[in-house]
Amino acid sequence: MTAPFLRTCALLLFLAAPLAHARAPAPAPRIPEQVSNPAWEGDIARFQALDAQQPPPHGAVLFVGSSSIRFWDSLATDFPGQKVINRGFGGSEVRDSTWYADRIVIPYAPRLVVFYAGDNDLNAGRTPQQVRDDFVAFVTRVRRDLPNTRIAYISIKPSPSRAQLLPQIAEANGLIREAAKRFKNVDFLDVYTPMLDANGQPRPELFREDMLHMTPAGYAIWRQVVGPELAK
């Protein structure tokens, strides 16, 4: 081959490289590798057994997350006329709901996912930034299979038994609020503020003796905050 011919080929390859790069499709959103506590497997298996006996309706409102959801046993009466599914389990963290989403979120094809988790995460030592990232991973996972499903995140509640975590809770809530703005049809529901007293401390009358889980008075606040979201 002649030197001019080789130079011409090299020039064409040089010019074509940027075009090939520009046409490459954008990578799909990455869902970070998730971990979960195997202790929840029994809860998830129980949910699946219930689903096999009586399949929940599609297009319902799915409540999922930690024990604050699990103990919300008045959902049907709090939101009359709404088809609701409760899939709260144990003392789970945000990552756990992501891990099990293919078993307790995706199959229901809900119109709305109401999600609560985060305080167990902080109590276990995860940072506010990690909890925010875990929230983003949950949204990304749900949206991969259910792109039109709305998601509402209930802010991390302030409980007397974890008052030492109030700064981290407030920071995590702020980070998650901002992260939610990056997604269409993802809302942040603030229960943190109305659950504080005039001195900025958790209101003990909203909690059971353990000062962690809520009484009906606590859930009444949640009902007021969450209700308008279900009406959309």
Q: What is the CATH number of the domain that holds 167?
A: 3.40.50.1110
Q: Which of 117, 108, 110 is nearest to 137 (CA)?
A: 117
Mean pLDDT in residue range 94-117: 98
Contacts with 202 (C-beta within 8 Å, 6 or more apart), sequence order: 158, 159, 160, 163, 166, 195, 196, 211
Residue 231 burial (CB count, 10 A): 9
Asked whether residue 12 is domain-assigned, the answer is no
Asked whether residue 60 is domain-assigned, the answer is yes
Residue 130 corresponds to which amino acid?
Q
Sequential DSSP letters for the chain: --HHHHHHHHHHHHHHHHHHHHHSPPPPPP-------GGGHHHHHHHHHHHHHSPPPTT-EEEEESHHHHT-TTHHHHSTTS-EEEEE-TT--HHHHHHTHHHHTGGG--SEEEEE--HHHHHTT--HHHHHHHHHHHHHHHHHH-TT-EEEEEPPP--GGGGGGHHHHHHHHHHHHHHHTTSTTEEEE--TGGGB-TTS-B-GGGB-TTSSSBPHHHHHHHHHHHHHHHT-
Asked whether residue 1 is domain-assigned, the answer is no
pLDDT at 64 over 80: yes
pLDDT at 22 over 90: no
Please give the tally of structural domains in the chain. Answer: 1
Mean pLDDT in residue range 212-232: 98
Residue 77 corresponds to which amino acid?
T
Domain of residue 137, residue span: 39-230
Six-digit token string for 219: 């859930």
Share of the chain above pLDDT 70, in %: 84
Asked whether residue 81 is domain-assigned, the answer is yes
Residue 103 CB burial class (10 angstroms; 0-12, 13-18, ≥19): middle
pLDDT at 192 over 80: yes
Q: Which of 4-18, 179-193, 217-231 has the lowest mean pLDDT?
A: 4-18
Whole-number Å distance between alpha carbons of 195 and 193: 5
pLDDT band at 90, cuts 50/70/90? confident
User: What was the pLDDT predicted at 53?
Assistant: 97
Mean pLDDT in residue range 115-136: 98
User: What was the pLDDT predicted at 38?
Assistant: 82
Residue 223 CB burial class (10 angstroms; 0-12, 13-18, ≥19): middle
Asked whether residue 22 is domain-assigned, the answer is no
- Phi and psi for 114 in degrees, rounded to 5? -100, 115
User: What was the pLDDT predicted at 15?
Assistant: 44
pLDDT at 134 over 70: yes
User: What was the pLDDT predicted at 17?
Assistant: 44
Mean pLDDT in residue range 26-47: 72
Contacts with 118 (C-beta within 8 Å, 6 or more apart), sequence order: 93, 94, 131, 135, 156, 169, 172, 176
Contact between residue 86 and residue 57 where contact means Cβ atoms under 8 Å apart: no
Asked whether residue 23 is domain-assigned, the answer is no
User: What was the pLDDT predicted at 13?
Assistant: 46
Asked whether residue 148 is domain-assigned, the answer is yes
